Amino acid sequence: MSASDNFTPLAIAVLTISDTRDESTDTSGDLLKQHLLEAEHNFFGKVIVKDDIYQIRKVISDWIANPAVQVILTTGGTGFAGRDSTPEAIAPLFDQEITGFGELFRQVSYDEIGSSTIQSRCLAGVANKTVIFCLPGSNNACTTGWTRIIKEQLDSRHRPCNFVGQLQ
């Protein structure tokens, strides 16, 4: 077995962006934590912030600057409702945008929610060797994003390519 056949666990932080959720009602953040632990990654921590550009940027910026955090998963704030501001808060922090993530997410979620998928402004990018995936706030969207896209891209054994080598 070569070194490339070994799984490399990553340190993953979870950010829930919501004006209404707290620890007792944050099902999507808890679901992302469950998914990453089942995949044998390391859980760095979870924070809930209001849907406010500057609160979001503060948490994300702190994690980007922390070399112990390799991946950030966000849930919430990616729609068109009045205070949904995740893309506006996070996109300016990217060194590189992963444009294919939003495109692929909308493609795979079309099978589940039809044309309503156009209302998802989910996005992803890399900042300071930290990959950031921004998902909608629903449990179904988080599961779709994780199982159909993110899980493989955070698995060092996935071929032909994955993000693990770029995060170290």
pLDDT tens figures, 77-103: 788 887 889 999 999 999 999 999 999
User: Bridge-partner residues for 131, per DSSP?
Assistant: 71, 126
Total number of domains in the chain:
1
Structure tokens that stand for 64 in this block: 């980007």
Host domain of residue 104: 3-167
Q: What is the mean pLDDT of residues 55-75?
A: 98
pTM over 0.85: yes
pLDDT one-digit tens code per residue, 118-143: 989 999 999 999 999 999 999 999 99
CA 40 to chain centre: 16
Residue type, 3: A
> What CATH number has the domain bearing residue 145?
3.40.980.10
pLDDT one-digit tens code per residue, 14-29: 999 999 999 999 999 9
Burial class of residue 168 (count of CB atoms within 10 Å of its CB; 0-12, 13-18, 19+) = exposed
CA-CA distance, 95 to 128, in Å (whole number)? 7
CA-CA distance, 27 to 89, in Å (whole number)? 22
Structure tokens that stand for 75 in this block: 């849930």
Q: Which residue has the tokens 């493609």?
A: 107
